Amino acid sequence: MTKEQQNTVSYVDLDNMPSMNELLLEETKSEFVEGTIITGKIVEKRNDGALVDIGYKAEGFVPSAEFTNWAEISVGDKIDVFLDEIENDRNMPGISLQKATSIRAWNRITSEYGEDSIIKGVMKHRVKGGIIVELGGVEAFLPGSQIDIAPVRNMDEFIGQEYDFKILKINQERRNIVVSRRELLEESRKDKRATLLKDMEVNQVRPGLVKNITDFGAFIDLGGVDGLLHITDMSWGRISHPSEMLEIGQEIEVMILDIDYDKERVSLGLKQKSANPWAEVASKYPVNSTIKGRVVNIMPYGAFVELEDGVEGLIHVSEMSWTKRITKAGEVLSVGEEVEAVVLDIDKDSKKISLGLRQKERNPWEVLAESYPVGSKITGKVRNMTSYGAFVEIENDIDGMIHVSDMSWTRKINNPNEVLKPGQEVDAIILDIDPDQQRISLGMKQMENDPWANIETLYKIGDLVKGKVTKITAFGAFIELSHKIDGLIHISQLSKDHIEKVKDVLGLGDEIEARVIKIDQEERRIGLSIKAAQEDYNEEALKQAEKELTAALRPGEDMVAMGDILSESLDGIGEGK
């Protein structure tokens, strides 16, 4: 030892030196690690919990609530606890039986089961969005959408129930697990569906449960496979909505109509369980037979009548009345009304039956044809007029038509209002009756002989005739002669002098004398001349007058119609209209 070393003095701070107990405590603490699981022994059981000796200077306390079998716990029992902290504010080790149990369970579950594994669990209680499931000491979350295949309306029905679950996700950091019951059900259902589809056959009748109802049909659960029962296959009769026959939860028997194994789709039928009523329609309702039925639907074009369940016939508006014009079926029939009708036609393939309401009575047109054969005389009132003729009532709302061409032998009638008025009574002859087309042709002129048939005996060129002015036109005047025959005096034949306007020389109703200068049987025209009647005309002069008239009037020209138009137009101008 050197002199320096000998002279060095070591000083110890006796005040800050740790005591023997503190040194022992530090050594004891070093044996315990917070956040670990250690084994302890129950040294005292109290009402609210137990004191547990973990080998530390002080015992830890575990509340009775953390024991699942508190009544069976005894002093001396060994338990595993989780060390939260070596000393808490009460100078006791902070321990937890529940955390130790949870950690042990978590480690066991996550080591034995991974994602996609199947594990049993009990649904404990509801939380927002789903249910908490206990998996052997570990809590997992079951989303509401994963509880069942169908939407769950009441989750409380599942609380306390034990099921198999599929682990969807394990999050080690957050220590949570998400499970699903639906996936297992779907997998089971898929296997069951495949087996069930193999057992199914077309035309087979199977029991089912109404699962859902739509506007177009109902989905039927066949025990693992859903089939569609379309509304058209529910009844041979008419239904407006599937709910008229079915309700959700109803047990029914249906027939397999078709199976699509690739798409796993099944088409079902209910009406096919009974015989098709259309199979015997032709024999049960022969054509021309009378049936009784109930009106089940009204459309503008007709009424549908139910003959029996699944069989309907149509009464078209055209078959509702022989004489009245029906525009809407609702004018005659109403839904629910019982009617009698005659079968007109049956189309078995299209499932259509044509019915007639009017056929219950004999066709009045046929009766009329027997009562009024062609050539018969009738008297009736003018009920309606068109531009081409007038409709005259014969009897029982049956009208005949007088065409303008059949109103006069001698006059060119352009519109029936020239000779007839609504409500006027007229005599006419039956010219033709067509019961099928419901048409009757009448004639007024046929009531008397055609004077033009013997025109050569009535008038000859050169004859002096007398008549009354009935119409004045721009190019001449029409004169009514005997036998109701009209003659035309062209403006060029009014006088030897030049005439500007016919009305300057003639007026309606004037009696005049004229000479016949032209007879045209084909055009039914008689040409007259006043100036030719004023002196003795020889044959040469008559021919010259005829040439003048022929040149003035083109062949085929409608003298009356053209004359009316020109006369009205020119008269209007002359009067300053």
Assigned domain for 32 exists: yes
| Pairwise pLDDT comparison (452 vs 542), residue with the higher score | 452
**Phi, psi dihedrals of residue 157, rounded to the nearest 5°:** -65, -20
Identify whether residues 210 and 148 lie together within a single domain. Answer: no
What is the per-residue pLDDT across 425-464, written as a single tens digit (0 to 9) for each?
Answer: 999 999 998 888 888 999 998 888 888 878 888 888 888 8
Under 8 Å between Cβ of 439 and 482: no
My answer on whether 426 and 412 are in the same domain is yes
Q: What is 39-80 written as a DSSP string?
A: EEEEEEE-SSEEEEE-SSSS-EEEEGGG-TTGGG--TT-EEE
* Residue 488 phi, psi dihedral angles, 5° rounding: -115, 130
**193 found inside a domain:** no
Name the helix (H) or strand (E) containing 258.
strand 251-260
pTM of the model: 0.45
The answer to whether 302 and 341 are in contact (CB under 8 A) is no
Q: Quick one: 461 and 544 in the same domain? A: yes
Residue 552's pLDDT band (boundaries 50, 70, 90)?
low
Q: Which of the listed residues 185, 208, 229 is the one where a domain comes to its end?
A: 185
**Same structural domain, 299 and 346:** yes
CA–CA separation, 46 and 74 (whole Å): 10
Sign, CA dihedral 498-503-505-506, equals: positive
CA atoms within 13 A on the CB side of 376: 16
What would the DSSP string read from start to end of 148-211?
A: -SSPPS-GGGGTT-EEEEEEEEEETTTTEEEEESHHHHHHHHHHHHHHHHHH--TT-EEEEEEE
Q: Are residues 513 and 566 in the same domain?
A: yes
The model's pLDDT over 296-352, given as tens digits with 9 standing for 90+, comes to: 999 999 999 999 888 899 999 999 988 888 889 998 999 999 999 999 999 988 889
Whether 479 shows a pLDDT value over 80: the answer reads yes
Residues 489 and 564 in one domain: yes
DSSP assignments along 305-326, one per residue: EEEETTEEEEEEGGGS-SSS--
Contact 311/277 with Cβ under 8 angstroms?
yes
Is 12 within a domain?
A: no
Q: In which residue are the tokens 């394990």 written? A: 170
- Conformational region of residue 136, where left means phi above 0, alpha means psi within -120 to 50, and beta covers everything else: left
Average of per-residue pLDDT values in the chain: 83
Same-domain status, 460 and 477: yes
* pLDDT tens-place string over residues 219-252: 998 887 888 999 988 888 778 899 988 999 899 9
Higher pLDDT: 552 or 405? It is 405
For residue 2, being part of any structural domain is answered with no
Single out the residue in 358, 385, 412 at which a domain terminates.
358
Alpha-carbon distance of 306 to 320, in angstroms, equals: 17
Phi and psi, residue 222, nearest 5°: -95, 20
Residue 5 in any domain: the answer is no
Q: Of 381, 412, 447, which residue constitutes the final position of a domain?
A: 447
SS3 217: strand
Q: Is residue 153 part of a domain?
A: yes
Query: Per the structure, how many domains does the chain have?
Result: 6
pLDDT band at 553 (very low <50, low <70, confident <90, very high): low
Burial class (CB in 10 A: 0-12, 13-18, 19+), 65: exposed
Q: Does any domain span residue 408?
A: yes
- Domain span holding position 256: 200-273
Residue 280 lies in a domain: no
Q: Would you say residue 214 has pLDDT above 70?
A: yes
What's 230's domain CATH number? 2.40.50.140
